[in-house]
């Protein structure tokens, strides 16, 4: 009986974490969907953008779906443990198992197709640079999004400062964005060329490299949590009625 009570507590802990994570993802998804114009508005200015890139505009709805699903799953696990419902516990086990298998498959796909992903980023690089050249300094929303991105990542353009050379901003002000020059008070072409500021693509790649251990730890932690949740739910399922 004591062991059974402990397992119930563990189920509440596991599913409480899942429920809170789902609620957080749901909140972020709603925020992204509501503020889509300012967050993802630059995608609308990329001509002939690949269909995969255009789908980023729907990321808010994807996050809402994932968050709602996780929230429901956490609620289902808690109710199953509390009411000792075999149906709920089995449903919870199957859902977590499917999610675990999908995550493993996604990890394998990322490893196998990493070169293709890098090639994809290179292909869209020119399109993004063209959108900067056409709209930065002319479209306020587009300019604001890029300014926020560059300030956050401490980068300049998608590839480098040359993305801005023929943009309306440089044509009008004869200067480059402040983030392109960290050591020069006047950010002209010569100053931007001397600066070691990298493009946002390289800055993002470096961010993932610097946090690779942390990201791997989080992924392993989630996998361990899912495995533990499946084991506990199946033990409770077998002990219902005993």
Structural domains in the chain plus CATH codes: 2-111+227-239 (no CATH), 115-203 (1.10.1450)
Task: Say if residue 82's pLDDT is above 60.
Answer: yes
Q: What is the mean pLDDT of the chain?
A: 77
Report the pLDDT averaged over residues 91-110. 81
Q: Which pLDDT belongs to residue 241?
A: 61
Q: Which are the contacts of 89, defined by CB distance < 8 A and separation ≥ 6?
A: 77, 80, 81, 233, 234, 236, 237, 240
Report the pLDDT averaged over residues 1-29. 75
160-190 residues labelled b (16+ CB within 10 A) or e (exposed): bbbbbeebbbbeeeebbbebbbeeeeebebe
Most confident of 30-44, 53-67, 128-142, 154-168: 154-168
pLDDT in tens, 207-241: 877 877 777 777 787 788 778 888 888 888 887 76
């Amino acid at each position: 009986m004591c062991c059974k009570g402990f397992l119930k507590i563990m189920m509440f802990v596991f599913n409480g974490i899942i429920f809170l994570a789902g609620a957080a993802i749901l909140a972020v998804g709603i925020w992204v969907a509501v503020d889509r114009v300012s967050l993802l508005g630059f995608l609308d200015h990329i001509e002939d953008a690949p269909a995969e890139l255009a789908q980023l505009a729907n990321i808010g709805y994807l996050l809402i779906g994932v968050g709602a699903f996780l929230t429901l799953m956490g609620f289902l696990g808690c109710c199953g443990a509390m009411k000792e419902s075999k149906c709920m516990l089995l449903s919870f086990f199957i859902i977590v198992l499917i999610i675990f298998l999908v995550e493993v498959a996604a990890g394998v796909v990322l490893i196998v197709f990493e070169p293709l992903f890098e090639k994809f980023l290179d292909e869209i690089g020119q399109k993004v640079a063209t959108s900067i050249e056409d709209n930065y300094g002319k479209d306020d929303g587009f300019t604001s999004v890029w300014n926020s991105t560059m300030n956050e990542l401490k980068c300049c353009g998608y590839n480098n400062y040359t993305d801005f050379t023929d943009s309306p901003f440089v044509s009008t002000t004869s200067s480059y964005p402040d983030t392109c020059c960290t050591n020069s008070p006047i950010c002209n072409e010569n100053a931007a060329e001397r600066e070691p500021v990298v493009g946002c693509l390289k800055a993002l790649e470096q961010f993932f490299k610097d946090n690779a251990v942390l990201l791997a730890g989080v992924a392993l932690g989630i996998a361990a949590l899912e495995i533990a949740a499946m084991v506990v739910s199946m033990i409770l399922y077998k002990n219902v009625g005993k």
